[in-house]
Amino acid sequence: MGRIRLQEMTMRIIDITRTVEPNMPVWPGDPPVVIERLCNIEEHDCNVSSLCAGLHTGTHIDAPWHYVKEGKKASELDLSRFYGICKVFEIRKEGHIQKEDIKDLDIEQGDIVLFKTENSYIRNEKAFRENYCGLAPDAALELAEKRIKTVGVDYLSVEPFGGNGDVHRILLKNDIAVIEGLDLFEAKPGRYLLSALPLKIEDVDGSPVRAVLIEI
């Protein structure tokens, strides 16, 4: 966390990005994170490192092309989907988020919505968990009907493990941006300014982001 000063106002920045590091959980079948020191300052006057990881590692966005054949790729996305006023809702329950859990929340057309669940309370876990909390299809349909702009979740997928891609397709085909792998442990329910901009990488289906919330 840090602080910025703007127009004589001090605002708290909450880092909601998971640290990219070796042995962190990745989606089954995705490459593990490998960080290698190529040059060191003692021998080469500078440090230079390389990173090998899947684009859906840690905190990242899914481009529509991830599940939609003619969907936009990461470099083509509207950046306003990943920057703006957002609403954080906390839903702590067993199982996945259902329509019944969200239908009466203050969610309106054009909102950026982040869901904080039990996932955010599991700290420093190295193994992938299959029983994480995701969005059930009826919840995804409810968000599509509300015509939100963006949804963010606090595990590696918005969709429950073993899903057939329907949750992703419901969201992405309805022009709802998807942010996955958030760490919302420090974020209380409420309104914030979100910044979670994807990297401008050509011809790819996702991108890591450095996601932060700014108290407003």
pLDDT tens per residue across span 8-37: 557 899 999 999 999 999 999 999 999 999
Annotation marks residue 44 as catalytic? no
* pLDDT computed for residue 43 by the predictor: 92
* pLDDT computed for residue 95 by the predictor: 93
- What dihedral do alpha carbons 145, 132, 116, 175 form, nearest 10°? -30
Cα gap 21→104, rounded to integer Å = 38
Round the CA-based radius of gyration of the chain to a whole number and report it: 18
* pLDDT computed for residue 9 by the predictor: 59
Cα gap 24→164, rounded to integer Å = 25
pLDDT > 90? residue 5? no
Averaged pLDDT, 100-121: 97
The widest CA-to-CA distance across the chain, in whole angstroms, is: 61
Cα gap 146→77, rounded to integer Å = 21
Cα gap 159→115, rounded to integer Å = 13
Record the tokens describing residue 15, joined without a space.
Answer: 């880092």
- For the chain, domains (ranges, CATH) are 2-20+55-215 (3.50.30.50)
Cα gap 214→6, rounded to integer Å = 12
pTM: 0.94
pLDDT band at residue 124 under the 50/70/90 scheme: confident
**pLDDT (tens digit, 9 = 90+) per residue, 74-97?**
999 999 999 999 999 999 998 999
pLDDT band at residue 7 under the 50/70/90 scheme: low
- What dihedral do alpha carbons 131, 132, 138, 140 form, nearest 10°? -150
Of 56, 60, 66, 96, which is the active-site residue? 66
